[in-house]
Structure 1
Amino acid sequence: MHGSKREDDEHSTPEPDLRSKAWPRMLFSLALFGVLVGLMIGRLTAPTEHRLERVEVVQDGLNLWFNAQPRLHGEHVEGTVALLFEAKGMAQRGQLDLSGKPVSWRVQQSDKGLLLTVVAARPLHGQWTAAEDAGGWRVQLKLRE
């Protein structure tokens, strides 16, 4: 068996494969189609992302507007008021007057969501309520010394 020429139907090189090459292409196309349909269904059924739309300074507090109801956790920490929202938004800061004295607030992104911190030179106490209002969610924070 020297070379690849045929001698009595015996040779050293295999015969060309006569099977169609369309079968692997069809399987790949079906797999790709399945992935794309799965991504579309996942996008349609994904929960809405909670976003902070704006912060309003009102008398003796703040109004925070969200596109949907976020999960909220609030605490009083050493004279400050801290609210943690499971939402996304832009970092913001500002000041408001409480009984003629300045109070600073800051919204910042943390690893668990948005963190609102309200700080003053004296201990603060806050009360927060959330309600649906005008097609969105409003979290109202009322402050007192």
Structure 2
Amino acid sequence: MHGSKHEDDGHSTSEPGLRSKGFPKVMLSLAIVGLMVGLMIGRLTAPEERVLEQVEVVQDGLDLWFNEEPKLHGENVEGTVALLFEATGKTQRGQLSLQGKPVGWRLQKSEEGLLLTVIAARPLRGEWAGAEDAGRWRVQVRLHE
């Protein structure tokens, strides 16, 4: 083969455009379909979000109702009770009576979830326990001086 002239349809360089012009569109379409299927599978297999549904003031404490069991970390810190739930819910506050004396509580959103803080003019101690009740999860917080 001398030069680049055609000799019996044989030449030294391949013909341009062996792939069809629709090939990039087909690849893009496959990528989009794959992404959408992956998102749907991820949505179906993701765990349900834990939500605080209700807060009840009861004698000597609070009952918190969740749709599922939340991860919970609690501490008695310098006379206050602090509980952190890995859940979502709305900000709330209120008061309850402990041995005839007022106790304030506040539920607020934080980076890790919901933070329940219980505080009074005197040092408090708290105990908490969770259990399933009627298809929901109840965390009972009991307070004492």
Q: What TM-score do you get using the length of structure 1 for normalisation? A: 0.86
Cα shift at 1:43:
0.4
Matched residue SS, 2:84: strand
Listed as ranges, the gaps of 5+ residues in structure 1 are: 1-7, 10-14
Distance 2:36 2:16 in 1: 36
1:2-21 to 2 correspondences below 5 Å: 20-21=20-21
Identity, % of aligned positions: 69
2:39 aligned partner? 39
Equivalent residue letter for 2:84? L
Distance 1:19 1:139 in 2: 64
What do you get for the CA RMSD once the two structures are aligned?
A: 1.7
1:20-99 to 2 correspondences below 5 Å: 20-99=20-99
Matched residue SS, 2:20: coil
Listed as ranges, the gaps of 5+ residues in structure 2 are: 7-14
Distance 1:47 1:16 in 2: 52
Equivalent residue letter for 1:135? G
Cα shift at 1:85:
0.6
Matched residue SS, 1:95: strand
Q: Residues 75-103 of structure 1: CA distance to partner in whole angstroms, max 9, x if unpaired?
A: 00110111011111111000001111100
Structure 1 stretches of 4+ with a deviation exceeding 4 A read 15-19
Q: What TM-score do you get using the length of structure 2 for normalisation? A: 0.86
Matched residue SS, 2:89: coil
Distance 2:28 2:110 in 1: 42
Matched residue SS, 2:94: strand
Q: Residues 6-41 of structure 1: CA distance to partner in whole angstroms, max 9, x if unpaired?
A: xx99xxxxx995853221111111111100000000
